[in-house]
A and B are shown apart, each in its own frame.
Chain A
Amino acid sequence: MSRIEINPELCKACEVCLAFCPKDCIQQSDTLNRYGVYPMQMKEAAECTGCTLCATMCPDTAITVYRTVVEKAQNQEAST
């Protein structure tokens, strides 16, 4: 499963990422950051596809996206 990391010190909890996530993977954390904001975080059982829509829209560039990809070359080796 792909995943995102939201830098809690950059996030201002504007919730724009939440509005654009097609899989509803994002929620607000219950830990304050040092600016007194409850930053956004990825849900634990999230079906993230690594589409990068949240990161594209994040006004604070707080999101890093890791996409899980299946290695095709090794897949072919295994099948032959």
Chain B
Amino acid sequence: MTQTEKKVFARTEVLTSQQTHYCPGCGHGIVHRLVAEALDHFGLREKTVCVAPVGCSVLAYKYLAIDMSEAAHGRAPAVATGVKRARPDLFVFTYQGDGDLAAIGTAEIVHAANRGENISVVFVNNAVYGMTGGQMAPTTMLGQKTTTSPAGRNLQSEGSPIKVAEMLSALDAPSYIARVTVDKPAAVRKAKQAILTAFQRQIDGKGFSLVEVLSPCPTYWRMPAAKAMSAIEDTMVKVFPLGVFKDKEAANGNQTA
């Protein structure tokens, strides 16, 4: 009986060897890895353009070894639309946070989705503005304390959190819209499946796809990283339910990935 050692988990080459600037325990790192592995899976590394947002992940171009463009705050879907229309042979996706996509970029994402642009969007929702110091975001949950809502978000004065996946799934054009999270190993694998499905839709020319990823922000949720992971299930999933909100291929009776 001989034993051999097999490498069963290693860093993909689509991720650069640089240490990220994200806080310890930040979900962006996991989502970066899933995106990188998905690009690796489809062999798209050399023909991809990613549009980076403004927010914590503004420096994503340092960590993904692919072609990247930076967009003005919230305008990533508009830039991605231009790139995709000019070069339909390229794979184009945006990587956006909730302050970018759900606040200043609401118009761009709604209209890109409504036009059914053949792009993919990875939307990382951590319910606060991380980069600027933990202010209240449109996705901040009721009662959640942030630096600009120190007593917790109030329904009367600040309204309810925006549910982007539900909102966009009401439109006719989008092909695939799902909400996943990265709080547990099983959830991470589901998140990867959702990202693979979304990318496959663009490759097949089916139109707009968006994956919303609920992600922890240990720094501005003011808790240790492991506790922030469990807080997603305890609080966030109750406000932002997980699941596939729109799947045109399933509605057409086609097999989904």
Q: Which of A43-63 contact B (CB under 8 A)?
A: 50, 52-53, 55-61, 63
Q: Are B5 and A53 in contact (CB under 8 A)?
A: no
Q: Are A69 and B4 in contact (CB under 8 A)?
A: yes
Write out, one digit per residue, whether chain B residues 184-225 have a CB within 8 A of any chain A CB (1) or not (0): 110011000000000000000000000000000010000011
Q: Are A16 and B185 in contact (CB under 8 A)?
A: no
Q: Does B7 contact A (CB under 8 A)?
A: yes
**When A67-B6, A69-B4 are in contact, do A59 and B26 touch as well, CB less than 8 Å?**
yes
How many contacts between A and B, using CB within 8 angstroms? 98
Q: Does B2 contact A (CB under 8 A)?
A: yes
Interface of B is mostly: mixed
Q: B27 is contacted by which of A13, A59, A64, A70 (Cβ under 8 Å)?
A: A59
User: Size of chain B's interface in residues, with CB distance under 8 A?
Assistant: 34
Q: Does A42 contact B (CB under 8 A)?
A: no
Q: Are A61 and B185 in contact (CB under 8 A)?
A: no
Chain A residues, CB < 8 A from B30: 57-59
Q: B8 is contacted by which of A19, A50, A57 (Cβ under 8 Å)?
A: A50
A64 to B15, CA, bound (A): 14
A20-B184, A61-B33 known; 15 new pairs, CB 8 Å cut-off, are A12-B25, A14-B24, A16-B25, A18-B226, A53-B185, A55-B9, A56-B9, A56-B188, A58-B30, A64-B7, A67-B5, A68-B4, A69-B3, A70-B1, A71-B1
Residues of chain A at the chain B interface (Cβ within 8 Å):
2-3, 9-10, 12-16, 18-20, 35, 50, 52-53, 55-61, 63-71, 74-75, 78
